[in-house]
Amino acid sequence: MRHLLDTESLGRDNAIAILDTAQEMSAVGEREVKKLPALRGRTVVNLFFEDSTRTRISFEAAAKRLSADVINFSAKGSSVSKGESLKDTAQTLEAMSADAVVIRHWASGAPARLATSGWIDAAVINAGDGTHAHPTQALLDAFTMRTHWARLTGTPSVGGDLAGMRVLIVGDVLHSRVARSNVWLLRTLGARVTLVAPPTLLPVGVEHWPCEVSYDLDATLEAGVDAVMMLRVQAERMKASFFPSAREYARRWGFDDARLARLDALALKDTIVMHPGPMNRGLEISSGAADSPRSTVLDQVRNGVSVRMAALYLLLSGDMKAVPTPALPAFAQPAAKDHP
């Protein structure tokens, strides 16, 4: 496999290889000198057409820890505003000797287009495309859960999966590439996933996803759960009203202080609360929950560097197994003025 475009096509062997390699990489982060010479002389381009804090910075940190040269490109302030196309932008950057292109784009399918068009030779890593996929986020989430699950079950992390783990993914599933990538990866790793959302924030065709669906957060908590992943309400992607009010959303779908206390009352002492960030505190998650000992929000950020080191290393060293090319969404590039 030359590119990392989604988790649906990743396969179990590659997923476990990335998680195991990330485990080794995390040891580098503990050292005084946080560097390996593995990618010395290679160049990683971060090509970001959408805003990002965690993903952009952690890919930069990951590449630098592997001794790669890093070129950071942000569409804001670039010639994209003059109408330059994705093809010309990518080829311009590859002319500067890119070995890997990490791309975040507002259009679903843009990374796949880059990977399959023949425009560039570099390995392509999807850092989030539209509402389609965010594979490295799902991998860092799985890494965080695997560490927790190994501790709970007394099994070794390395080589392990998430078989038997019960995971809730809660909130704005409709607009969430994080939810999509997590559902497929968690299924591959053997976890049992339930999506919990208002009917208006579930995508058409969700019944064909490898998971269960519920509209009732409290009932799913009562049934027992090992990890609750709260999703950001993506107001910037909403062109209509999807719920009556923020207050109503927080009451029915938010992980608030009352639900945090409910985990204690249900004797779910090992249940973790996750969020990919950035968080809307007081909407999908309360500050009490986000800052509680159950919260893994900052662990997820820390683990993101190790997982992205692993992905870069395995792709650039050619150690990923071949898997069939999946059916990918079409990509159409609107005029630059239409960019959100």
Q: Give yes or no for a contact between 70 and 60, defined as CB atoms under 8 angstroms apart.
A: yes
Does 74 engage in binding with ligand CP (CB under 6 A)?
no
Query: How many Å apart are CA 326 and CA 289, to the nearest integer?
Result: 38
Query: How many Å apart are CA 5 and CA 191, to the nearest integer?
Result: 21
Query: How many Å apart are CA 91 and CA 117, to the nearest integer?
Result: 12
91 is in an annotated binding site: no
What residues does 149 pair with on adjacent strands? none
180 is in an annotated binding site: no
Site for ligand CP in 255-294 (CB under 6 A): 276-278
Site for ligand CP in 103-142 (CB under 6 A): 128, 137
Does 52 engage in binding with ligand CP (CB under 6 A)?
yes
Residue 179 or 221 having the CB closest to ligand CP: 179
Residue 109 or 128 having the CB closest to ligand CP: 128
Read off the tokens for 152.
Answer: 């709970």
What residues does 74 pair with on adjacent strands? 48
Range in contact with ligand CP (rule: CB under 6 A) among 49-57, 83-91, 149-157, 306-314: 49-57
Query: How many Å apart are CA 266 and CA 197, to the nearest integer?
Result: 22
Read off the tokens for 16.
Answer: 């476990």
| Closest distance to ligand CP from the beta carbon of 250 (Å) | 21
| Closest distance to ligand CP from the beta carbon of 76 (Å) | 14
Range in contact with ligand CP (rule: CB under 6 A) among 52-60, 164-172, 259-267, 327-335: 52-60
Query: How many Å apart are CA 228 and CA 182, to the nearest integer?
Result: 12
Residue 173 or 263 having the CB closest to ligand CP: 173
* One of 26, 55, 108, 147 touching ligand CP (CB under 6 A): 55
Residue 21 or 55 having the CB closest to ligand CP: 55
| Closest distance to ligand CP from the beta carbon of 266 (Å) | 28
Q: Give yes or no for a contact between 256 and 289, defined as CB atoms under 8 angstroms apart.
A: yes
In order, the DSSP letters of 296-335 are: -HHHHHHHHHHHHHHHHHHHHHT-SPP-PPPP--------
Range in contact with ligand CP (rule: CB under 6 A) among 50-58, 166-174, 263-271, 289-297: 50-58
Query: How many Å apart are CA 140 and CA 199, to the nearest integer?
Result: 28
* One of 40, 53, 91, 212 touching ligand CP (CB under 6 A): 53
- The dihedral region occupied by 155, where left means phi > 0, alpha psi between -120 and 50, and beta the remainder, is beta
Query: How many Å apart are CA 262 and CA 292, to the nearest integer?
Result: 14
269 is in an annotated binding site: no
| Closest distance to ligand CP from the beta carbon of 282 (Å) | 19
Residue 160 or 304 having the CB closest to ligand CP: 304
What residues does 167 pair with on adjacent strands? 193, 227
| Closest distance to ligand CP from the beta carbon of 54 (Å) | 4
Give the torsion sign (CA, 174, 176, 181, 182): negative
Binding positions are 54-55, 82, 104, 134, 137, 177, 232, 277-278
Which residues are known binding-site members for L-aspartate?
Answer: 82, 177, 232
By CB under 6 A, name the binding residues for ligand CP: 52-55, 128, 137, 276-278
